[in-house]
Amino acid sequence: MNPKTSSSFIFLSFFLLLSSTTAFNITRILGQNSDFSNFNDLLKQTQLASQINSRQTITVLAVDNSAIGAISGKSNDELKNILSLHVVLDYYDPQKLQKLSNKTALLTTLLQTSGKANSKIGFVNVTVTSNGIAFGSAVEGAQINSNLVKSVASQPYNISVLQISSPIIPQSIDAINANSSRANNNTSTSPPPSISPAGPPKKSPTASPSPKSAKAPAPSDDSADTLSAADAPADAPADAPADAPADAPSGAADAPAGDADAPGPSDDKSSGGRVSVGMFVSVFTLGVASWFSL
């Protein structure tokens, strides 16, 4: 065999072997054991399966069908937060756990990377005891009572699936679930900002009154002085008003000097004015004659 061909074949085989050992599918691994069918379905339902498969190194703390009931009936967001706490971002098998320094450690989980976890809620506490290996929430005061049952599958050092006796559900995870639900409700129910429909600008009632309320503009003082007889109403009496006092002065000298609006004397009197003066003279003459006759 050609040395170059042999070298290429060895390199290709090594590459394929390396690829096969680093690639994994959590759904396929759990699907080989029917005891984890419910847990497997929840990983697919919450879309955590694809996130797990995208990692290079992972450890899944799986719960069988007999213990999964503790988290049944929860919303999809709640399930995702809880199950994310069961995905450790490192490779751990029983042998590695037994060799932990100080026999305890805090393990970072997928929940910690979600940005929702506060304090230590995104970590899992693993402790080696005289009775075996136990898991629990790293939140202060939480119980470490979920025991390691067995190793389900492993591909060192890429993926390890460990069965634990019960789900890890810290009490403080309810706050994360409540905040997630509140954020979703606000997003779905918050009304869109009101936008006034575009239209013609409203006109000021004083600048442009409506036809019903519009009034004819009052004539200015100048226009009142220049009105002609033809502009007077047709039914206006030709004579002076009947209620005018009989002894009213005929001259314009008695008119107040400060009244700018009072009409001044005019040489061109109307016919109505001459009639009124004549009647006044006649009545005055008759009165004087009657007085002398007495």
Report the CATH number that the domain containing residue 143 is assigned in CATH: 2.30.180.10
The larger pLDDT score, comparing residue 238 to residue 21, is at 21
Q: Is the pLDDT of residue 245 over 90?
A: no
What are φ and ψ of residue 83, in 5° steps? -70, -30
Report yes or no on 293 lying in a domain. Answer: no
Instruction: Indicate whether 152 belongs to any domain.
Output: yes
Confidence of residue 55 (pLDDT cuts 50, 70, 90): very high
Instruction: Please give the Cα distance from 107 to 123 (Å, whole number).
Output: 5
pLDDT of 9 strictly over 60: no
Report the percentage of the chain scoring pLDDT > 70: 54
User: Are the CB atoms for 198 and 102 separated by under 8 Å?
Assistant: no
Q: How confident is the model at residue 269 (pLDDT cuts 50, 70, 90)?
A: very low
**Sheet architecture: strand order including 87-88:** 87-88, 58-62, 159-164, 146-155, 132-137, 123-129, 104-108
Q: Are 49 and 161 in contact (CB under 8 A)?
A: no
List Cα–Cα distances, 210 to 2, 146, 219, in angstroms.
Answer: 102, 81, 21
Domain contains 237: no
pLDDT reported for residue 90: 97
Q: How far apart are CA 223 and CA 218, in angstroms?
A: 10
Flag whether 101 is in a domain: yes
- 100 — alpha (psi -120 to 50), left (phi > 0) or beta? beta
Q: Nearest-CA neighbor of 111 among 98, 97, 127, 122? A: 122
**Residues forming a β-bridge with 104:** 127
Q: Please, which pLDDT band fits residue 99 given cuts at 50, 70 and 90?
A: very high
- Host domain of residue 55: 17-165
Confidence of residue 286 (pLDDT cuts 50, 70, 90): confident
Cα distance between residue 158 and residue 145, in whole Å = 26
Q: Give the integer Cα–Cα distance in Å for 91 and 56.
A: 9
In a domain, 272, yes or no: no
Q: Is residue 198 part of a domain?
A: no
The CA-based dihedral angle spanning residues 260, 262, 264, 266, taken in that order and rounded to the nearest 10 degrees? 150
Q: Look at residue 199 and tell me if it is in a domain.
A: no
State the amino acid at position 66 in one-letter form.
S
Q: How confident is the model at residue 159, as a pLDDT? A: 97
pLDDT digit string (tens) for 124-174? 999 999 999 999 999 999 999 999 999 999 999 999 999 999 999 998 787
Does residue 294 fall inside a structural domain?
A: no
Mean pLDDT of the chain: 73
Domain count, the chain: 1
CA 50/CA 84 separation, integer angstroms: 12
pLDDT 10s digits, 109-128: 999 999 888 889 999 999 99
- What pLDDT score does 23 carry? 77
